Amino acid sequence: MSEFVVSKASNLAKYLELPQKGKVIAEYVWIDGSNGLRTKGRTLDKKPESVDELPEWNFDGSSTEQAPGHDSDVYLRPVAIYDDPFRRGDNIIVLAECWNADGTPNKKNHRYACNKLMEAHKDADTWFGIEQEYTLFDEYGSPYGWPKGGFPGPQGPYYCGVGTGKVYARDVIEAHYRACLYAGINISGINAEVMPSQWEFQVGPSAGIAMGDELWMARYLLERVAEEFGVKVSFHPKPLSEGDWNGAGCHTNVSTAPMREKGGMKDIEAAIEKLSKRHAEHIGVYGEDNDKRLTGKHETASIANFSYGVANRGCSVRIPRPVAKVGYGYFEDRRPASNIDPYLVTGIMVETICGAIPEVDMVKEAVRE
């Protein structure tokens, strides 16, 4: 197996110091045809004040599973701007939506539909916090830091672990944390996970559409940082199918304005009741291969049934103990897999809790071609 070619930061550093003569670099980032990320850079004459000042752009969609070769132009419409932790200075990263030439949203542009729901239910002021779990792999395809051709000791010492042999790749995680803060991502924390070389970061609370935007950008920064360390990121919900190893999820914490106020528990319970009636439909948008993760073992509930409970990590939905104690706050949906599109998950959440709108159907949106 070939080794990764890792660029040497020491060689790059002196070029990063070169003056840009007033020009600004904008790196446009978008979601491709298979939930991956793509990016390309362009020069601007000045730093834009808002997304409206940014040019629309396009790319060859036939190379990204996003368009046929005979009609390959896909358009990039800027929707959010972040400070660029790699190039720094006035340079920026731009999150863009993908649009087809005929004026329809590209097949994986689920942000457009999600945003319609968020706009329609603005008054609910829905906040989300997503716990992104992921696994790091080395160039030989083993989880990063695992013994060559073998396995580390059983799970137990790794969750929030400290010390050699109990935690892997802390440098990658620290670099990513700092990059997110610099970019302006509302990253709320990090922790090592139950399986060695599995980690989690949390983004939120973020309101409405910003949740999806910030989670995608945090994933981009992670891929980009890990690339510099020669480490591979996997968002697969069950990266190791053999053996007693935890899967990876994207627990989604949710609150509407009434849930956050005194007496909000009745709104939390009403929302959970609504979720229970659409279990199968929610599972349908909660990520691929999630059946391999939601087994009823490893701190998950079975994919077949909906359940909820206070402080119970074996349920589909958990009400945190402190929330039950004070009687208001938020709930946690533990079902979403690590490979979700957060626009689909936050979208269907608002659709279910606040009500459907005529022009959007998140179940159909998830399978739209």
- Which residues here bind ligand ADP, judged by CB under 6 A? 127-129, 131, 188, 202, 204-205, 251, 253-255, 260, 329-330, 332
Q: 188 contacts which partner out of ligand ADP, Mn ion, none, CB within 5 to 8 A by kind? A: ligand ADP
Do 325 and 341 meet the contact criterion of CB atoms below 8 Å apart? no
* Piece of 55-63, 168-176, 199-207, 323-331 that binds Mn ion (CB under 5 A): 199-207
Tell me which residue of 40, 331, 336 sits closest to 215, measured CA to CA. Answer: 336
State the burial class of residue 49 (Cβ atoms within 10 Å of its Cβ: 0-12, 13-18, 19+).
Answer: exposed
Q: In what order do the strands lie in the sheet with 24-31?
A: 37-44, 24-31, 92-99, 73-83, 57-60
- Near Mn ion in 109-148, by CB under 5 A: 131
Q: 329 contacts which partner out of Mn ion, ligand ADP, none, CB within 5 to 8 A by kind? A: ligand ADP
**251 part of the interface to Mn ion, by CB under 5 A:** yes
Longest alpha-carbon distance in the chain: 60
* Piece of 18-26, 61-69, 210-218, 250-258 that binds Mn ion (CB under 5 A): 250-258
Angle between helix 342-354 and helix 210-229 axes, rounded to 10 deg: 160
Contact string (CB under 5 A) for Mn ion, positions 290-329, x = contact:
----------------------------------------
Nearest-CB residue for Mn ion: 251
**Shortest approach of ligand ADP to residue 284 CB, angstroms?**
23
Angle between helix 342-354 and helix 265-277 axes, rounded to 10 deg: 110
Q: How far apart are CA 235 and CA 237, in angstroms?
A: 6
Do 335 and 294 meet the contact criterion of CB atoms below 8 Å apart? yes
**Shortest approach of ligand ADP to residue 261 CB, angstroms?**
11
**Shortest approach of Mn ion to residue 182 CB, angstroms?**
23
**φ and ψ of 220, to 5 deg:** -60, -45
Tell me which residue of 326, 178, 214, 318 sits closest to 261, measured CA to CA. Answer: 326
* Closer CB to Mn ion, 91 or 246, in the complex: 246
* Closer CB to ligand ADP, 76 or 179, in the complex: 179
**Shortest approach of ligand ADP to residue 296 CB, angstroms?**
18
Q: 253 contacts which partner out of ligand ADP, Mn ion, none, CB within 5 to 8 A by kind? A: ligand ADP
* Closer CB to ligand ADP, 166 or 260, in the complex: 260
Distance of CA 23 to the CA centre of its chain: 31
What Rg, from alpha-carbon coordinates, does the chain have? 21
* Closer CB to ligand ADP, 48 or 247, in the complex: 247
| Footprint on this chain of Mn ion (rule: CB under 5 A) | 131, 200, 251
